Amino acid sequence: MDCRHLASHTASTAAVRGDEMKLLYFAWLRARIGHAEEIFQKPAEVNDVAGLLEWLRDRGPLHAEALRDLSVIRVAVNQEYVGPKHPIREGDEIAIFPPVTGG
């Protein structure tokens, strides 16, 4: 599996090749997974957000632990909040994070 890891977030325009997807992790998800950003080739079997989260859990024990309880996970695709059935396409920027606590 072709994969690139980055410890900190880069600009949203960081190069993602045509067949790749870019994952961004924030807050305690970033801390638990140990990366701010990962770029993967989009697996053929991943078609939606629910499928992506399931696939990510098999990446390793840190991913599995961080994504154990989906009730505390929010997802944005291309900077819009989405639900589990939202499609995942090549070239997507997918952010995974806990409920927001700004203001």
Partner 1 sequence: MIRVQREDFDIGRELDRLARGDHSIGGVASFVGLVRDMGGPDCVSALILEHYPGMTEKKLAEIEAEANRRWPLSASLIIHRYGRLEPGDRIVLVATASPHREAALAACHFLIDWLKTDAPFWKSEETPRGERWVEARAEDDEAAQRWRRTGNHFD
Q: Which phi and psi angles does 23 have, rounded to 5°?
A: -105, 135
Q: How far is the CB of 32 from partner 1 (least distance, A)?
A: 10
- State the SS3 of 34-74: CCCEEEEECCCCCCEHHHHHHHHHCCCHHHHHHCCCHHHCE
Q: How far is the CB of 57 from partner 1 (least distance, A)?
A: 15
Taking residues 57 to 96 in sequence order and writing x for each that binds partner 1 by CB under 8 A, - otherwise, the string is -------------xx-xxxx--x-xxxx----------x-
Q: Contacts from 63-68 at CB under 8 Å and sequence distance 24+? A: 63/33, 65/32, 66/25, 66/28, 66/29, 66/32, 66/33, 67/29, 67/96
Which of 6, 26, 57, 59 is in the footprint of partner 1 by CB under 8 A?
Answer: 26
Using the minimum distance from each CB to partner 1, give the nearer residue, 49 or 63: 49
Q: How many residues bind partner 1 (CB under 8 A)?
A: 28
Residues within the interface to partner 1 (CB under 8 A):
9, 11-12, 24, 26-28, 31, 49, 70-71, 73-76, 79, 81-84, 95, 97-103
